[in-house]
Amino acid sequence: MSTRIAVTSQQGAYDVLIEQGGLASAAASMAAATTARRVLVVADEQVVQTHAATLLKALQPGDWEVTLTATRAEEPLKRMAAIEQIWTAALSGGLDRHSAIIAVGGGLTGDLAGFAAATYMRGIDVIQVPTTLLAMVDASIGGKTGINLPVPGLGHLGKNLAGSFWPPKLVLVDCDTLETLPVREFRSGLAECVKHALIGHPDLMRLLEVHADALRDGRTGTLDDVLVQSIEAKRLVVEQDEHEYGRRMLLNLGHTFAHAIEPIKELDLTHGEAVSVGLCAAMACAQLRGLLSAAELNRVTDLLTGLRLPTQISVPQRIDDLLAAMRYDKKASGGQLRLVLPTSSGAEVHDDVPIADVTAAWRTVMPPSSE
Ligand code: GLY
C-alpha cells in the first residue's frame, strides 16, 4: 500500500507518504522532497542497527553524503545538550545551509532533530521518518519541535517549553518499522488515535472500537485505515491553524492533565499512557461542566480499557501538586488554566473551568484505594 497525504503549510507544502517498505526505497522520495544531498541522520539509538541502517543503505554513496548520529530517546535527556550534540555532528559532517537532517525514531527524536534543523545555520531542511505509531499519527506532522525545561520550584521537567514550528519537507511512514516497536509503545500510540477520534471523527472512533482486539496486540493488518484516518484528522487541524492560535489547541485534548502526571517517576507512564489517563480526566471534567453524558464518557473509557490503556493512575498523588504542574503547561495562559474539553460533537477550549471541577476530575482518575 502507498498513500500520499499532502499537507499545506505557510513554510511550504509537504507530503506524508505512507508506504510499506518505504524506507528501503527512500532515496527517490527524499530526493523529490529536498535538494539537499549532504544529510545528517539523527536516529534513536534503539533503531540505529535496524531502521537507520536500512535508510543508510538506501542513500547510496555517490548520490548522497550521509553522516549518522545517535540520540537517546529519554525525556530527561530532551535538553539543550542533545541539540548541541546534533549541531556538532552536523558541523563534523560538513553540513551547510543547503544540507538536511533526517530524523529516524519516535516523537522525541523527531522533536530534537527538528529543533536542531530549525536552528542550525538559521534553519535547514528536515525529513521525519517516524518509527513509532505515536510519531506516525501525531508528532511527525505539523512542524512542532522542542526540548524540555526544568519547572521552577517543582523539581521536574516541563515538556516542550522551548522550541519552534519547523515543518518537515517529507514525512515518510513505513509501517514495517512498527515490527520492532514494543507492544506497550504501540498501545501508547493508539491513545493519540483515540484523541484524534474524539476531536470530531466518529468514523475513526468506530474503526478503533471494531478493531480494538487486534490493535491492542499490535497486529498491524488492521492498521492502514487507522493510520490514514488519524493522519487526515491531524492534517485538517494543522492546515487550519498551523501555529496554534485556535483550533490546533484541540490536539492538546487530555494533554494538560497528561503532562502533569507523565514526569512522575513512580507512576511509570509512557506519554501515550499519560494521555489515556488525561483523556479520562478531561472527559470527567467535561461531564461535570455538562458538555458530555456519562454514556459518552463510558464509551471512551471502555475503548481505552479495550486497547489495554490505563484510565487511572496507579499511585495516589496530591491534587495540589498536579494543579501546580498544570499551571506550568504551555497551554496555561497567564497562569490561568486553559483546558481542552470534549463535547458530544468534538472538543472546545475553555479558560474558565473552576478549580473545583478540575480537582473533582483528578479524583476520578485516582486509584480506587485513594477514594
Ligand atoms: N501534538 C499536538 C500538536 O501537534 O499540535
Mean local confidence (pLDDT), 82-100: 98
pTM: 0.94
Q: What is the pLDDT of residue 329?
A: 66
Strand 100-105 to 65-71 pairing: unpaired
**CB of 144 closer than 6 A to ligand 1?**
yes
HSE (side-chain half, CA atoms, 13 Å) at 149:
11
**CB of 255 closer than 6 A to ligand 1?**
no
Clarify whether 273 is annotated catalytic. no
**What is the overall mean pLDDT for the chain?**
94
Amino acid 79 reads: R
**CB of 242 closer than 6 A to ligand 1?**
no
Domain extent listing, the chain: 2-181, 185-370
- Provide CB contacts within 8 A for 326, sequence distance 6+: 256, 257, 259, 260, 332, 337, 358
**Residue of 147, 142, 137 lying closest to 86 (CA atoms):** 147
- Provide CB contacts within 8 A for 317, sequence distance 6+: 261, 264, 267, 366
Residue 154: pLDDT over 80: no
CA distance 130 to 42: 12
Q: What are the grid coordinates assigned to 263, written together?
A: 514526569
CA distance 290 to 240: 28
If one looks up domain 2-181 in CATH, what number appears?
3.40.50.1970
Catalytic annotation, pick one of 195, 201, 271, 330: 271
Amino acid 22 reads: G
Mean local confidence (pLDDT), 236-260: 95
pLDDT band for 126, please (50, 70, 90 cuts): very high
Residue 371: pLDDT over 60: no
Smallest CA separation from ligand 1 atom 3, residue: 251
Q: What is the pLDDT of residue 110?
A: 98
Catalytic annotation, pick one of 187, 195, 201, 255: 255
**CB of 137 closer than 6 A to ligand 1?**
no
Dump pLDDT digits (tens) for 314-354: 999 999 999 988 987 655 555 568 999 999 999 999 998 99
Q: What is the pLDDT of residue 327?
A: 83
Clarify whether 244 is annotated catalytic. yes
Smallest CA separation from ligand 1 atom 2, residue: 251
Q: Which residues on neighbouring strands pair with residue 130, listed in sequence order?
A: 105
Dump pLDDT digits (tens) for 16-25: 999 999 999 9
Q: Which residues on neighbouring strands pair with residue 339, listed in sequence order?
A: 350
Exposure string over 327-360, b if 16+ CB within 10 A, otherwise e = ebbbbeeeeebbbbbbbeeebbbbeebeeebbeb
Mean local confidence (pLDDT), 228-250: 96
Q: What is the pLDDT of residue 219?
A: 74
Q: What is the pLDDT of residue 335?
A: 59
Q: What are the grid coordinates assigned to 184, written together?
A: 506497550
Clarify whether 156 is annotated catalytic. no
Q: What is the pLDDT of residue 183?
A: 94
Residue 361: pLDDT over 60: yes
Dump pLDDT digits (tens) for 288-304: 999 999 999 999 999 99
Q: What is the pLDDT of residue 370?
A: 61
Q: What is the number of the ligand 1 atom nearest to the C-alpha of 251?
A: 2
If one looks up domain 185-370 in CATH, what number appears?
1.20.1090.10
pLDDT band for 368, please (50, 70, 90 cuts): confident
Residue 202: pLDDT over 60: yes
Could you give phi then psi for residue 93, rounded to 5 degrees?
Answer: -80, 0
Handedness of CA 113, 22, 193, 200 (dihedral sign): positive
